[in-house]
Structure 1
């Protein structure tokens, strides 16, 4: 069943669309990768915006402006050229952690393997090493993991997270099978899939994904 929003341990998760996610806990609002195509007209209520890489469906100045106000803190992966943003940015280095509004935001590896399935016609990974980070956000006692555009990597097996928000569309990211395995590997209690069905290349069977995740003993909700 598709739902509008999901509650977990006092945290509210909603999905404007594609890879954009809104998280609210105790009055603090976080958006991850807000994209103008799905957040246009949002109320400008973000306390924190986190950006994982410079693909235009993830780093989008118009999308950031749509969810932000004058007091919003933008945390962006340091490899992104944010000179066109027009607002201050807190850089997030690979393997680093920053603390904003009482939240810990940690960068974790994210890329497509050169020997994997998610490469272009010339054999180049759609997302090479160093171009993307995933983020682990600690909100109170809850750990939220947003892998971003990546394969399921060996590095991810060392992570632990209560809530995982994985891409499942394949082509440019892990597919639904890899995403289910990732969620199980990190010990997720709740799985919220994103980055699928926006366009033909990332169409997938979300209901089959949900069945797979539930069979592994985890709660899953389809936004």
Structure 2
């Protein structure tokens, strides 16, 4: 299923990969790839039935149609995934902390990607021709937050990644993808039309935390992603949707297996 919102069509492919297409044909992807979600090799946690997994079925997806690709941090960097979705003239915006040398997977160094690659810090604006404004924002787990260990260590310390607020299409419809982060107070100050909520918990905001953030953001639509791809990302998406709807915020799930 593809979710329609304003002048956008939103499709979740699994993990952190979402495709956003505007009426004018502009296409953006968030964190494409990993775990077989774009190669058709993904199987539900525990080897279950994809139709019962509250997750889209993986497909061998290589459209090479993206005008914009955004990459939040090392854990979500997949050079093959980027090459599967990016058009020849795509702009690939990558957090400057992403380093293939620190990744224990077979990935290309960022500077070897055959695209226009733009590196960003924690608070940068990039104007992408034909797409719009791309704004990076700090994304992390707080040392005294709900996803910290007793010693204050966290899966995503400050400085390890970003989220993105970007616009797509002639209307400049705004999209926010927080990446792997707590539901930080600063996020609630953003002007957002579409909120791609990370609801998996454990290493980032949980469903209830994302629902509270959605109420504060007051977007025109919330679409959750980054859940149920792996066992440690299991989440109750139906409960999340009910929670968000109960706060008078529109929400849609994209879990089609077709």
State the TM-score bracket (shorter-chain normalisation). over 0.9
Whether the aligned pair in 1 keeps the contact of 2:89 and 2:115 (CA below 8 Å) is no
Whether the aligned pair in 1 keeps the contact of 2:30 and 2:71 (CA below 8 Å) is yes
Please say if 1:221 is aligned against 2:219.
no
After superposition, the CA RMSD in angstroms is: 1.6
Please say if 1:30 is aligned against 2:28.
yes
* 1: CA distance, partners of 2:156 / 2:224: 19
* 2: CA distance, partners of 1:21 / 1:121: 33
Of 156, 159, 176, the match for 2:187? 156
Equivalences for residues 43-58 of structure 1 within 5 A: 43-55=63-75, 58=76
With 118-127 and 8-17 compared, the bigger mean Cα shift is at: 118-127
The structure with the larger Rg is 2
Structure 1, residues 32-71: CA drift from partner, whole Å, max 9, x if none?
100142123321111111111111xx11001001112322
Whether the aligned pair in 1 keeps the contact of 2:90 and 2:115 (CA below 8 Å) is no
Residue 181 of structure 1 corresponds to: 212
Task: State the shift of 1:156 in Å.
Answer: 1.5
* 2: CA distance, partners of 1:136 / 1:77: 13
State the number of aligned residues. Answer: 218
Q: Which runs of 5+ in 1 are unaligned?
A: none
Matched position secondary structure for 1:70: strand
Structure 1, residues 1-34: CA drift from partner, whole Å, max 9, x if none?
xxx1111111111011111010111111111100
Residue 222 of structure 2 corresponds to: 191
* 1: CA distance, partners of 2:62 / 2:3: 18
Task: State the shift of 1:84 in Å.
Answer: 4.8
With 190-199 and 111-120 compared, the bigger mean Cα shift is at: 111-120
* 1: CA distance, partners of 2:70 / 2:184: 22
Matched position secondary structure for 2:87: coil
The TM-score with structure 1 as length reference comes to 0.92
Residue 67 of structure 1 corresponds to: 85
The TM-score with structure 2 as length reference comes to 0.80
Task: State the shift of 1:114 in Å.
Answer: 0.7
Q: Which runs of 5+ in 2 are unaligned?
A: 40-60, 100-109
Equivalences for residues 4-23 of structure 1 within 5 A: 4-23=1-20
With 73-82 and 204-213 compared, the bigger mean Cα shift is at: 73-82
Task: State the shift of 1:117 in Å.
Answer: 2.5
